[in-house]
Amino acid sequence: MMLKQKAFMLLCSAVFMLLSQSLQADEARTSSFQVLVEGQGKAIILIPGLMSDQRVWQQLATALKPNYQLHLINLAGFAGTPALSTPVKLTEVTAELADYIRHQQLQQPVLIGHSMGAFLAFQLASSYPQLTGKLIAVDGLPYLAPVFSRDSATTVAQMAPQAKMMQQYYQQMTPAQLAASTEQGMAIQVSRPEHAAIITAMAGASDPATVGAVIAELLTTDLRSEVHKIQQPVLLLGAGGAVASEIMRPAVQALYQQQINTISQARLDFNWQARHFMMWDQPEWLLAQITDFIKE
């Protein structure tokens, strides 16, 4: 009798361990982002950019949530959301977002992404075209590198050494140094000091290793050969407020247009007054663009 009881206890222990491991695995799979849900109606997923969180969408969310259900994403390692022991990979975030859509039973939610968040939206819509609805990219592209090189012919192979150096550079930073570095480039980000202060604070609350890993992934992941798989309409909104001269505008516009040429239903609109955080620089214009596009 004692032997049977002991065997039963061992079996229960083994089952408990397996369940615990399974729960830990599920937890790990859903730990790359947190979600705040607000409002009622058609689902919209809003994804912020590098080192940002839901604060960038606050004004837009206030206007949208009376008519839409908003799913505001905060990525691990950015703006105070706890970092993972190993920095998040955007490909894994994309798979987890797809799982989230299935689990929440969202019916082709609208995707709105800013900067890096737009890249994630392009990746999600390319990888899971049946799951996603319309896509709005707020100054974000399928491939980041041509923005820096100013050449649409830039390749992943060309960017790989620079991506590795940048990742190592950020790994050596402290959060305070990350905030200071972000503050130095504020002229192209936003116009108003109060918004610059929020951006700097979000950077200072970000994990430098995560930032470096994500930048490296953005520089070495080119979605331009994948975005033709997107089945829903796409609106790419370019922020041109930091373009120094009107003479440069056609080249900038052509660079953006090249990235969405293979998408069957894609449109590009530029705002030449808005800087990169156009949700703060041109909030009324952005809201009108988004609401009109969703209703089309």
CB atoms within 10 A of CB 44: 27
Average pLDDT over residues 216-220: 97
Tell me which amino acid residue 159 is: M
Name the band, by pLDDT with cuts 50, 70 and 90, for residue 31.
Answer: confident
Cβ proximity of 147 and 122 under 8 Å:
no
pLDDT > 80? residue 165? yes
- Of 1-5, 28-32, 103-107, where does mean pLDDT reach its minimum? 1-5
Q: Report the mean per-residue pLDDT for the chain.
A: 90
DSSP 40: S
Average pLDDT over residues 199-225: 97
pLDDT of residue 296: 87
Minimal CA–CA distance to 94: which of 204, 226, 292? 226
The CA distance from 115 to 284, in Å, is 19
Read off φ and ψ for residue 78, nearest 5 degrees: -115, 135
The residue ranking higher by pLDDT, 12 or 194, is 194
Name the band, by pLDDT with cuts 50, 70 and 90, for residue 244.
Answer: low
pLDDT > 90? residue 15? no
Cβ proximity of 252 and 246 under 8 Å:
no
pLDDT > 60? residue 162? yes
Average pLDDT over residues 260-284: 97
pLDDT of residue 115: 98
pLDDT of residue 26: 38
The residue ranking higher by pLDDT, 6 or 139, is 139
pLDDT of residue 269: 97
For the record, the structure tokens of 94 come out as: 């994309």
- Of 1-15, 105-119, 180-194, 235-249, where does mean pLDDT reach its minimum? 1-15
- Of 23-37, 81-95, 254-268, where does mean pLDDT reach its minimum? 23-37
Minimal CA–CA distance to 70: which of 104, 31, 105, 42? 42
pLDDT of residue 7: 45
What's the pLDDT tens digit per position in 71-114? 999 999 999 999 999 999 999 999 999 999 999 999 999 999 99
pLDDT of residue 8: 40
pTM of this structure = 0.89
Q: Residues of the chain with pLDDT > 70: what percent?
A: 90
The label of the residue with tokens 């859903």 reads 30
